[in-house]
Structures are given as structure tokens and as C-alpha cells.
Chains A and B, each alone.
Chain A
């Protein structure tokens, strides 16, 4: 049995890292907002979904103009990624300004409910526009990357099977990793990143140190949403078909990843996302084998969430989180 599991490892690692990178980047959006406002922004999954639709819409328009066949696919992708990131960033910033800021001092449950409301709103707006434009809310975008790459893992060691991946997987993984590194540098090395951490720790003191708290919160929403929207584009490119409800389950899993890593902790969200992706893919490849045929691959989520529950039982603050101490 061990041999059979080992054989699948190369494919599991590649698929798991790709899926995990998607979770991780979305988890960053949850964790950044939570860190600064202690708000679980349930609309974040829908920002991701909006990104997927905006990106696809741009691609369809550009295809209509004949660009897609004329320009290298990677240049296309970068253009669409940047455009979508800016648009979803502004969308997230706008949502904070209109829906969350007026409730800044309200009891914590109220902005939470608002966030759920916003996410329904976004789902329905996107569905409305999609049906208006295409007559169907399930949309298939142009296929940018069709090639398959085969990795000869068997040449490293005979116990491994070869793995095969779509080019788009590589692109998703590389882009997600670049975004994570970029964010890490931003948060740890720059003036605004430092201001962000200061506001997360003590909003009032930060404002007395000349930090414009509202601006920092706007920037946080912009960056989180831009990353989420860009990930939506990657998702659309990878899977081809999207609908207005993809944000719900993906958002939930990304939120799980954020909790697993320690909510509020940026590196924790990255770790949690990658881990959750790997666990899910491992379960999907091996559950049938491990359970002697009782559970099929469709129980992968159960497996991943069971692991989450176990981790949280022993380490409620998450893998990289700090135990909560009362503020004096």
C-alpha cells in the first residue's frame, strides 16, 4: 500500500501546491482584513469570483478584437491580471468605504452580517450581468494555455509515477508565489506595510504616531482584494468554466486555510493554504486506498477538515498564530 501511495506523490505535490497556492492567496485577503479590523470579510470569496468574471470578460472582449491570437498568451495573461487586480482592488476598497466603515464602531456581529449580505449582492449582480450579456450565468472563457508538461519523476526514483500538468498550473503556481513574496516584502519592509502592522496592533496609538488609519484600512482592502481578484483570473484560466457561485466554497476553504495558519498572521495564511491544498489532493488521490474502498475521492474535503479540527483542538490559535492574551 505504501508503494502505491508513494507512486502518486509527484502528482499530489504538484496539484496540491497549485490548489494550495490559490487557497493561500485568497486566505491572505481574509487574514489581512481580520488582522486589522477583526472582521471576517465573508464577501472576500465573492471578490475572487468577481475577479474571475472581470478577467474572463476582458479576455472575451480582447479576443473579439483579435488580440488574443496576435499577442503571446503570457503577455495577455499579465495584462488581464493587472487590469483585473486594479478593478477588484477598487471594488474591495469601495465595499469597505460604503458598507464597513459606517459600522466601524458597531458591535462585531453587525459588520459580519453586512459582509454576508454583500456577498449575496455580488453573486446576484454578477449573475445578472452574465445572463444579460451571454444568456447564461455559466461562462466559459477562451483557453490561453493548452499545453501539457510531463514531469519524469520516475527518472528520479523508480517508486514515483510520472506527473503531468497543464502549463496553466505552472503559471498559477508561479504567479501566486510571486504575489505572496511581493506581499511579504510589502508588509515587512515598507512604510505602509509597517503602518498596517501598527494599526493592526493598536489603532489609536498608530493614529497618534501620524498614521492615517482610514488610509491604511483602504490600502489593506485594496491589496487583499487585488490579490483575490487576480487569483480569480488564474482560476478562470486554469479551469475554463466559471459561475457566480465559485466564490462560496473556495472562499470558505481559504478562510479555513487562514484559520489553520493562525488568523491575522500573513505567513500563517500562506502556510495554511499550501497545507490545505496538499492535504486535499493527497486525500483525493489516496482515500479509496487508505479506507479500503469505503470512502471515495469525493470525501477529500472531510479528510482536510478533519485534519483542521485536530490541529485546532491542540493548537486553537492556528499553526503560526499567537495565543490570545487579554489586552490590558
Chain B
């Protein structure tokens, strides 16, 4: 069963076409990778799914519901969460607070209740802190909960971004180059973490990644973009041997030579 449908998505910035006619279907509970050389339009593609950019033409459906025209906070409320290529934590806030911001939409407290500090609100505050703590435990950051986000190590910041995204209880999780800048050991831990959250949170994962070892190991479906267009899609073993993909990565002539 498909959860996310992308149909003929095109995005133009003035005269530059960042995405041209990209379509894809994402199966529920699957892991899909979007790969391609630098500048292929992968992040633009993510930005359209999350509502940061409105596509010039095309359609995006989450569980058959249109996402076009929605603001980013509305899209994220529908169940799409993401992490960023260059980490974008709330660096002056604590680790715990970062996760609590992720829970924003699930904390019911209205302004009137806050004003009078009703007992029910306090109880809810406690409950959300407990939930946030559990998420931090899950990604292995619980001991650092009161640390400022900017003081975390690089790998820890990446895991905090994942915890913050999970806090919104998404249906679809978008990971933008989660392994960028990680050493092989950290990448390996990340691979395990992504596999685990997919099962335990019943998630659909879409990731942009350059680390081919990670991509091949983790994904069930791969979409390849080049110059804004989809040039191939399929199972990892098909993509590995696809001449068009090899050409996009290594240049013309590489196929014959290899």
C-alpha cells in the first residue's frame, strides 16, 4: 500500500529548473533512498514535500490527501517530519527543549490554561517531559538532556535531530544526508537506528544520502535524480548496475571503460 504519492513534480526558480516532472510512489513502512550527484535537486524535492517550496506544477498526496498549498507547519501536522543536511537544531535551547518543540502539536495546553496554570496542564507538561526523555533514551542522549544543543558532538546533534523529528509522531520521516560527516562507526550505528525506528515507530523513511554503502544496505527502493530529473528507480541491485546511473555519477564513457 502506498502512503506518499508524488506526481509530475516540477519546480522552477526563474529560468532554472530544479526539478522536472518527478514522480514516485512510496510504499508504507518502506525505506526509500533518493540519490544523485550534487545539485541534482534532491533537497529541493524534500523542500516541496515539506511545504517549504510550493511546486510550480505537480501533485503530492499523503494517504490520498493533497499537501499542495499547505504551509510547512500544516504539512508537518499531517505527519511528515524531517532532519536537515546542515544540522538545524535550536542551538541555544537544551536537548530536552529541542524535543519538546518537536512535540508542539501534541501538547494540548491552550493559552487560557497556561495563564491560570491549571493542574491538568502541569500534569500534561510532566507527561510530555517523560515522553521526550524516553525519545532521548532511545537515541542515546538521555544523559545530556540539560546540555545546550550546540554543545553536543556532531554525531549526537544528528541523533538529536532524529529524536526531535520523531517527537512529532510522523508517518513519514525525511532524512536529508543523515550520515554526512560521520565516521564509519557512527554511520553503522545510524544505519541500525534507522532500521530500528522504522519497525518500532511503524514509519516510512525517505532519505537523501551520498554514502552508497548505507544506501545499498538500508533501502528497499531507490530513486535517482540527475539535473532535476528522475533517471532511474528500482531495487538496490538494479540501480547498482544501471548504465544511466553509472554515467550520471562517473561521466560518459565510464560504462564502457568499467
Contact = CB atoms under 8 A, between A and B. Distances in A.
Interface in B74-113: 76-77, 81-82, 84, 86, 88, 90-93, 97, 100-102, 104-105, 107, 109, 111
Nearest to A202: B88
A189 B91 contact: no
Contacts of B127: none
Interface in A200-243: 201-202, 204-213, 219
Interface in B19-61: 50, 52
A96 B97 CA distance: 28
Contact of B73 (A189, A201, A212, A219): A212
A202 B84 CA distance: 13
A287 to B, nearest CB: 40
A186 B114 contact: yes
Given A198-B93, A205-B84, A210 B105 contact: yes
Interface residues of A, number: 25
Contacts of B77: 210
Interface in A157-196: 185-186, 189-192, 194-195
Residues of B in contact with A, size category:
20 to 34
Contacts of B92: 197, 201, 322
B125 A211 contact: no
A210 B102 CA distance: 7
Contacts of A219: 111
B168 A198 contact: no
A71 interface: no
Contact of A192 (B81, B86, B111, B117): B111
B158 interface: no
B155 interface: no
Given A197-B93, A201-B90, A209 B104 contact: yes
Interface string B62-81: 00000000011100110001
B221 interface: no
A198 B104 CA distance: 11
A197 B92 CA distance: 9
Nearest to B164: A209
B101 A194 contact: yes
A197 B93 CA distance: 8
- Interface centre among A185, A186, A195, A209, by most chain B C-beta atoms within 10 angstroms, is A209
Given A201-B91, A201-B92, A204-B72, A209 B168 contact: yes
B100 A194 contact: yes
A202 B90 contact: yes
B101 A209 contact: yes
Contact of B107 (A186, A191, A207): A191
A132 interface: no
A75 interface: no
B114 A210 contact: no
B102 A209 contact: yes
A208 B82 contact: yes
A171 to B, nearest CB: 21
A311 B81 CA distance: 44
A213 B102 CA distance: 14
Contact of A208 (B50, B86, B107, B125): B50
Nearest to B108: A191
Contacts of B107: 191
Contacts of A208: 50, 52, 72-73, 76, 81-82
Contacts of B97: 194, 197
A202 B90 CA distance: 7
A78 B76 CA distance: 41
Contacts of B73: 207-213
Contacts of B72: 204, 207-208
Given A190-B109, A202-B88, A210 B93 contact: no
Contacts of A310: none
A206 B101 contact: yes
Given A202-B88, A204-B52, A205-B90, A190 B114 contact: yes
Contacts of B168: 209-210
The 7 tightest CB contacts between A and B, nearest first, are A210-B105, A207-B72, A210-B76, A191-B107, A205-B88, A198-B101, A207-B73
26 contacts: A186-B114, A189-B125, A190-B114, A190-B125, A191-B107, A191-B114, A192-B114, A194-B93, A194-B97, A194-B101, A198-B93, A198-B101, A201-B90, A205-B84, A206-B90, A207-B71, A207-B72, A207-B76, A208-B73, A208-B81, A209-B76, A209-B102, A209-B164, A210-B104, A219-B111, A328-B86
Interface of B: 50, 52, 71-73, 76-77, 81-82, 84, 86, 88, 90-93, 97, 100-102, 104-105, 107, 109, 111, 114, 117, 125, 164, 168
Given A201-B91, A209-B81, 11 more contacts: A190-B114, A190-B125, A191-B107, A197-B92, A198-B90, A204-B52, A207-B72, A208-B81, A210-B73, A210-B168, A322-B92
